[in-house]
Amino acid sequence: MKQTKKEANWYVLYTTPRAEKQVQSRIANRDIECWLPLHRSTRVWSDRVKTIDTPLFPSYLFIKCQEYMLELLTKIYGVARIVYHDGKPAIIRQREIDCIKEFLEQAANRPLCIGEDVEIVAGAMKKVSGKIRKINKRYLVLYLEQLGAMVSVKIEDVAPAKRLK
């Protein structure tokens, strides 16, 4: 496919570790379309539990620009290199970008549901797994198989078991 000078395609940049958000900001300041797919994940530390936005593809950014601009982008602090395929900058089709966006939208709109396995991430019962039996506005009722008991837990104190691993 021959590219004219006016065509803008989606390309992929590889960033230094954990620099995706800063690089996205630097590129956006140059009025270049840049997309960093983020997803919400729960992180558990010894003293707190937090839901944060993390890159879906660590160290990768999608850039929509003309091919000649790519070399200039490598001079931005935090950009490690351009991703190549068959000796040319890899072009990502718009439909692939749309599929990723649709996937992220569906994943974000998926709430906890009855029957789902969750793990308690805060409080006295931290690290205990259970199955959701009932969902209220601010609390879940869980069945804890290990104890053979039902407990009520704040929604923010649980995370889907398979997402923590």
Q: How confident is the model over 61-84, as a mean pLDDT?
A: 96
CATH class of the region 117-164: mainly beta
Chain centre to alpha carbon of residue 98: 15
165 falls in which pLDDT band (50, 70, 90)? very low
The CATH topology of domain 9-108 is Alpha-Beta Plaits (3.30.70)
The ranges of the chain annotated as CATH 3.30.70.940 are 9-108
Q: Are 60 and 48 in contact (CB under 8 A)?
A: no
How far are the Cα atoms of 85, 136, 162 from residue 154, in angstroms, in the given order?
48, 9, 19
The ranges of the chain annotated as CATH 2.30.30.30 are 117-164
User: Structure tokens of 32?
Assistant: 């270049």
Would the pLDDT of 31 be above 80? yes
Would the pLDDT of 105 be above 80? yes
Largest CA distance in the chain: 67
Which contiguous run of DSSP H or E holds residue 92?
Answer: strand 91-92
